[in-house]
C-alpha cells in the first residue's frame, strides 16, 4: 500500500483543491471563565473545559459522564498539554492524540476537525433598532467567541447596505430562503444559518433556522445577554450537525467507495476525511481510486463527509464491482468478495 501511495503521489498532476469545508485549527483549545486564579477555581475551570471539549468532539452532552472517563474527570490534566490565564479566562490546550485515544477507548465516536463552514445571517433587534451583524463589526465578537467555544467554523456577511436591506425578518424567517441563498453564494459556505434575535425585558431570545444541503433544522434559544444567546444558539446547531457527521457506535458497515478525478491535493484531503472511517485504498486506475470502508458509518454519513469537499455522487452501473480485483489479499485474509450495487458508492470531483 505504501508503494501504491508513493506511485500516486509521483503520477498525479498538481492541482489546487477547492473546498468550502473548514478545518478547525483550535478545536482542542478551550477557554473557560474564572473568578480568580485560586487553585479551587482553576480545578473547577479545568473540569468545565473537559466537559466543553468532550461535547465539542462528540456532540453528546452526556458523553462526559461516561463511566470510562471517571479518571479523566478526576484529573483532566492527564490529557492537557498546557494551560494559562487570559484576562478573566483560563486558556486550556488539550493534547489531540491523547484526548482522541482516551475518548475512543471509552467507546465514544468523534467528530473530526473537518467541519461545514456556516454562513450566519444574524439580525439583532434591540432597543436601538435592528441591525445585521457583519464581519468586522464589534457585534460580531460574541458570535466568534461562541463559534470557537462550540467548535464551529463561522462566517459572517460583510453587512453592506444591500445586505442590510436584504436581512429582513421575512427573509430570515422564510421556509425556503432563496433571497439569502442567492446573496450567500459569494461566501462559498456549506451551511446557511439565519438567526432573529431580540431583547425583551433585559433577556435575549432567538429563533434560528439552519439549512445544509436538502436538510433544514430550526429551534429557539435564550440567554442573559448577546454572548450567552450566541453560545446557546451555536450549541444547539453543533448538536444538530453532530447527528449528521459523528459516527455512532454500532455494527460495522462494509462499503466500497470509488472516487473519480483525483489529483495529489485531492488525494491528501480524501485520506484525511476517510481516516476515521477505517478506509483502505484497494485499487488505483488513472485518476480513479477505490477504497474499502469498514467502520460504524452508514452510507448517509459517508455521503455527508464527502459532500464537505465538493464530491458529487454519480450513479453506480449495474455491473458489480470487485473491490480487490487488482490487489490480492495479504496472507491469511479472506478473498475479496464481489459487492452488490447497494454496497458501492461512486463520487467524482
Q: Is the pLDDT of residue 207 over 90?
A: yes
Q: Hey, what's the torsion of the CAs at 61, 66, 70, 75, to 10 degrees?
A: -40
Q: What is the pLDDT of residues 111-154, one digit of tens each?
A: 888 899 999 999 998 777 789 999 999 999 999 999 999 999 99
Task: Convert 255-271 to b/e letters by CB count within 10 Å (16 or more is b).
Answer: bbbbbbebbbbbbebbe
Which pLDDT belongs to residue 320? 44
Percentages helix, strand, coil for the chain (3-state, rounded to 5) are 40, 30, 35
Sorting pLDDT into bands at 50, 70 and 90, what band is 27?
A: very high
Nearest CA to 172 out of 115, 214, 201, 130 is that of: 130
Domains of the chain: 2-20+249-348 (no CATH), 28-105 (no CATH), 116-245 (3.40.50)
pLDDT at 17: 33
Give the model confidence (pLDDT) of 168-180 as tens digits: 999 999 988 999 9
C-alpha grid cell, residue 277: 472511517
Sign of CA dihedral 329, 332, 338, 343: negative
**How would residue 9 be classed by pLDDT, with cut points 50, 70 and 90?**
very low
Does 7 score more than 50 pLDDT?
no
In this predicted structure, the answer to whether residue 349 has a pLDDT above a threshold of 80 is yes
pLDDT, position 50? 98
At 338, list the grid cell: 464481489
pLDDT in tens, 215-244: 899 999 999 999 999 999 999 999 999 988
State yes or no: pLDDT of 294 exceeds 90.
Answer: no
Distance of CA 128 to the CA centre of its chain: 35
238 by DSSP, 3-state: which?
helix
pLDDT at position 326 is 42
> Are 30 and 94 a contacting pair, CB within 8 Å?
yes
84: left (phi over 0), alpha (psi -120 to 50) or beta: beta
Reported as a pLDDT band with limits 50, 70 and 90, residue 1 is very low
Output Rg (C-alpha) for the chain, integer angstroms.
23
pLDDT class of 6 with cuts at 50, 70, 90: very low
Per-residue pLDDT at 297: 60
Count of CB atoms situated within 10 Å of the CB of 37: 11
Q: Provide the pLDDT confidence category of residue 306 given band limits of 50, 70 and 90.
A: confident
- pLDDT tens-place string over residues 209-222: 999 988 899 999 99
How much is the mean pLDDT over the chain?
84
> What DSSP state is assigned to residue 317?
P
pLDDT bracket for residue 292 (50, 70, 90): confident
Q: What is the DSSP string of 58-92?
A: HS-TTGGG-GGGHHHHH-GGGGEEEEEEETTEEEE
pLDDT tens readout for residues 67-96: 999 999 999 999 999 999 999 999 999 999
- Is 239:61 a contact under the CB 8 Å cutoff? yes
Inform me whether the pLDDT recorded for 12 exceeds 60.
no
Residue 335 pLDDT exceeds 50: no
Q: What is the pLDDT of residues 270-291, one digit of tens each?
A: 887 787 666 788 888 888 899 8
Over residues 194-204, the mean pLDDT reads 92
- CA-to-CA dists, residue 97 to 27, 100, 319, angstroms: 12, 5, 42
pLDDT, position 68:
97
In DSSP terms, 154 is beta-bridged to: 118
Query: What is residue 88's predicted lDDT score, i.e. its pLDDT?
Result: 94
pLDDT of residue 300: 74
CA pair distance 272, 275, nearest whole angstrom: 5
Bridge partners, residue 259, by sequence = 289, 347
Q: Give the closest residue to 17 by CA, choosing from 296, 224, 269.
A: 269
The reported pLDDT for the residue numbered 332 is 53
Looking at residue 312, its pLDDT comes to 86
The answer to whether 179 and 173 have CB atoms below 8 angstroms apart is no
Strands 129-132 and 89-94: unpaired
Amino acid at each position: 500500500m505504501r508503494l501504491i501511495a508513493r506511485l500516486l503521489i509521483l503520477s498525479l498532476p498538481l492541482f489546487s483543491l477547492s473546498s468550502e469545508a473548514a478545518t478547525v485549527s483550535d478545536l482542542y483549545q478551550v477557554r473557560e471563565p474564572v473568578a480568580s486564579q485560586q487553585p479551587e477555581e482553576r480545578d473547577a475551570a479545568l473540569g468545565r473545559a473537559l466537559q466543553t471539549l468532550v461535547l465539542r468532539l462528540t456532540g453528546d452532552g452526556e458523553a462526559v459522564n461516561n463511566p470510562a472517563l471517571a479518571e479523566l474527570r478526576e484529573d483532566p490534566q492527564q490529557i492537557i498539554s498546557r494551560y494559562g490565564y487570559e484576562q478573566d479566562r483560563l486558556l486550556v490546550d488539550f493534547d489531540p492524540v491523547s484526548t482522541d485515544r482516551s475518548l475512543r477507548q471509552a467507546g465514544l465516536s468523534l467528530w473530526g476537525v473537518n467541519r461545514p463552514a456556516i454562513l450566519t445571517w444574524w439580525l439583532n433587534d434591540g432597543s436601538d433598532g435592528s441591525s445585521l451583524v457583519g464581519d468586522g463589526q464589534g457585534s460580531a465578537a460574541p458570535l466568534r467567541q461562541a463559534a470557537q467555544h462550540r467548535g464551529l467554523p463561522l462566517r459572517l456577511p460583510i453587512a453592506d447596505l444591500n445586505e442590510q436591506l436584504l436581512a429582513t425578518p421575512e427573509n430570515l424567517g422564510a421556509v425556503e430562503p432563496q433571497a439569502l441563498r442567492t446573496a450567500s453564494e459569494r461566501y462559498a459556505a456549506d451551511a446557511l444559518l439565519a438567526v432573529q434575535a431580540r431583547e425583551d425585558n433585559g433577556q435575549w431570545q432567538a429563533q434560528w433556522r439552519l439549512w445544509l444541503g436538502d436538510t433544514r433544522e430550526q429551534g429557539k434559544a435564550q440567554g442573559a445577554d448577546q454572548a450567552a444567546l450566541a453560545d446557546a444558539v451555536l450549541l444547539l446547531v453543533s448538536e444538530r450537525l453532530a447527528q449528521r457527521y459523528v459516527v455512532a457506535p454500532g455494527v460495522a458497515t462494509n462499503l466500497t467507495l470509488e472516487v473519480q478525478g483525483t489529483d495529489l491535493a485531492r488525494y491528501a484531503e480524501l485520506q484525511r476525511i476517510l481516516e476515521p472511517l477505517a478506509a483502505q485504498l484497494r485499487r488505483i486506475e488513472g485518476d480513479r481510486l477505490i477504497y474499502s470502508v469498514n467502520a460504524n458509518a452508514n452510507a448517509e454519513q459517508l455521503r455527508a463527509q464527502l459532500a464537505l469537499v465538493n464530491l458529487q455522487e454519480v450513479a453506480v452501473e449495474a455491473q458489480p464491482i470487485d473491490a480487490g480485483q487488482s490487489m490480492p489479499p495479504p496472507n491469511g485474509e479472506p478473498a475479496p468478495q464481489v459487492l452488490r450495487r447497494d454496497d458501492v458508492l461512486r463520487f467524482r470531483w
